[in-house]
Amino acid sequence: MSIYSFSFSPTGTSAKILRGIIEGISDVLNTAVIHGDLTFRAVEDIVLTSGDIVIVAAPVYGGQIAPIAKQRLKEINGNNAKCIVVAVYGNRAFENAVVDFASFMSDCGFLVCGAAAFVGEHSYSTADTPIAAGRPDSQDMADARTFGEAIALKIRTDQLHEVSASSLTDEPSPAESIVNFRNFVAGYRQQQSETPVAYLPQVDTSLCDDCGSCYDACPTEAITPDFRDADPSRCIKCCACVKICPQGARRFHSPFAKTLSENFNFRKSPRWIL
């Protein structure tokens, strides 16, 4: 048996949570975990067997697992290996993401034997509009290790069996917050239908020193070689370029940021099933 972990993590959030899970597994089983980074390229040359176990983590974009994460995974043949899916969302709701993730992995030939939803700092979070700012924090990482330990105990006792991802339910949000958000979304969609606006990261040229950190951090090669623009057909609004810029020269002004910050500023906790 080999244990593998994979993460698609432009801002490092999903990868950090996955590291905590892997530490918990390693502490119990005293075994190495083989890690693959999906952020910039697809998985290659991985041959799995039915005895292997895979833990895979990716962010939630718009209630679904990031489409590009699935693109990077789709060439893997699960060969009935067992897998655990971990969806990382920005404290609003993970919606259908866990079921979407599990269904995709099942289609790739995996037996889904666990699922989790963890909170990470939202891509749109800023100092002015904080959304799960600083997460995963120390408590989240402790929870990640606990989840990893639980996985390891299931492995040790040969009790890691298929689960239904639909059994994993979200922590309820206040009714008023949900109504406020839905009203905002309805208004946003109406506005976009009448006068569409393409939202992309913006650059303050007075601050940019052409270091290229943004270019290197972009998982889709959306940033132009002069670092000034982004290709709207490639940009996935992960905000890796914004978070990585050492000069603070990049900004992404999402119309969603304010309503998310105002309506989802309570703390949600990780949830999982095994």
**Cα separations (Å) of 84 from 4, 5, 7, 56?**
10, 9, 12, 6
Give residue 198's pLDDT: 87
pLDDT (tens digit, 9 = 90+) per residue, 191-218? 999 999 989 999 999 999 999 999 999 9
Beta bridge partners, 56, equal 6, 85
Per DSSP, the three-state class of 251 is strand
Report d(CA 110, CA 102) in Å as an integer: 9
pLDDT (tens digit, 9 = 90+) per residue, 105-129? 999 999 999 999 999 999 999 999 9
Based on the domain organization, do 106 and 27 belong to the same domain?
Answer: yes
Based on the domain organization, do 86 and 139 belong to the same domain?
Answer: yes
Report d(CA 161, CA 100) in Å as an integer: 19
Structural domain includes residue 186? no
Other beta carbons within 10 angstroms of residue 267's beta carbon come to 13
Based on the domain organization, do 155 and 241 belong to the same domain?
Answer: no
Give residue 156's pLDDT: 95
Average pLDDT of the residues in 159-181:
95
Per DSSP, the three-state class of 119 is strand
Report d(CA 224, CA 183) in Å as an integer: 36
In the chain, how long is the greatest CA-to-CA distance? 59
Give residue 75's pLDDT: 84
User: Which residues constitute the domain of residue 201?
Assistant: 194-263
User: Tokens 């404290």 appear where?
Assistant: 91
Total count of domains within the chain: 2
Contact yes or no for 235/200 (Cβ under 8 A): yes
**Percent of the chain at pLDDT above 70?**
100
Q: How many CA atoms lie within 13 A of 51 on its CB side?
A: 3
Give residue 153's pLDDT: 97
Look up the CATH number of the domain holding residue 254.
3.30.70.20
Based on the domain organization, do 156 and 97 belong to the same domain?
Answer: yes
Structural domain includes residue 274? no
Per DSSP, the three-state class of 127 is coil
Based on the domain organization, do 103 and 15 belong to the same domain?
Answer: yes
Beta bridge partners, 51, equal none
Residue type, 239: C
Q: pLDDT band at 229, cuts 50/70/90?
A: confident
Q: pLDDT band at 43, cuts 50/70/90?
A: confident
User: Which position has the higher pLDDT, 32 or 14?
Assistant: 14
Based on the domain organization, do 167 and 201 belong to the same domain?
Answer: no
